[in-house]
Chain A
Amino acid sequence: SYVLTQPPSVSVAPGRTARMTCGGDNIGRKSVHWYQQRPGQAPVLAIYYNSDRPSGIPERFSGSNSGNTATLTISRVEAGDEADYYCQVWDSDTDDVVFGGGTSLTVL
């Protein structure tokens, strides 16, 4: 089955840029979606189709995907961005939805 690998944690100072990666075999050939999950809340779609932003998501959020790594970038990080971030793909070989293990973003 397809595996997505995310670093468990990322820390960044307010106002700086946070980059969170999602690794997978030839992930650049897949569509990657990102979710933000604050403690005790349901996930929220943050980026879809690698780099599109749903309405209501700040322009500070962006995504890219190439080779074996997809990246979620948050510019000018704010305290309210502190959350867990999950990447997700659909594995066409197994017809399964796959989530990464999640990255906990800490704003220092």
Chain B
Amino acid sequence: QVQLVQSGAEVKKPGASVKVSCKASGYTLSRYGLYWLRQAPGQRPECMGWISVGTGKRKYSQKFQGRVTITRDTSANTAYMELHSVKYEDTAVYYCAREGDAGIHFDHWGQGTTVTVSS
């Protein structure tokens, strides 16, 4: 079955970078895009960006442009999201999610990675 397994919780100081991984299994990775989203406490999810696992093409949401880098390692079936210059307001649960067939929705989600920014 489709599984997305993310790396563990992180605690970072303001100004640092954080990198979260998402290992995929149970499907042909190159056929689907992978999105990164985050959800601050009590808030709605928000999209950070997308990567085509097959081609490596990337697209970032305007809010995060210049501060986020999404990459993938096809040999390891893993995608990565790195957020730079973190601020207190970046404290959130970060999710990877698989793009559904023929449209922008998310049919499978990772379990989430809690990132806490604290001095």
Contacts and interface: CB of A to CB of B under 8 A. Distances in A.
A49 B103 contact: yes
Contact of A102 (B44, B47, B104): B44
Interface string A50-69: 00001000000000000000
A90 B107 contact: no
Nearest to A102: B44
Query: For the side of the interface on A, what is the size category?
Result: 20 to 34
Contact of A48 (B47, B103, B111, B112): B103
B80 interface: no
Interface in A80-108: 86, 88, 90, 95-97, 99-102
Interface in B60-112: 61-62, 95, 100, 103-112
A54 B108 CA distance: 10
Interface string B23-65: 0000000000001010000001111000000000001011000
A54 B112 contact: no
Contact of A42 (B100, B104, B109): B109
A79 B56 CA distance: 43
A28 interface: no
Contact of A88 (B105, B109, B110, B112): B105
A104 B14 CA distance: 32
B111 to A, nearest CB: 6
19 contacts: A33-B100, A35-B45, A35-B106, A42-B111, A42-B112, A43-B45, A43-B109, A44-B109, A45-B105, A45-B107, A45-B108, A48-B105, A49-B103, A54-B107, A95-B59, A96-B62, A97-B104, A99-B44, A99-B45
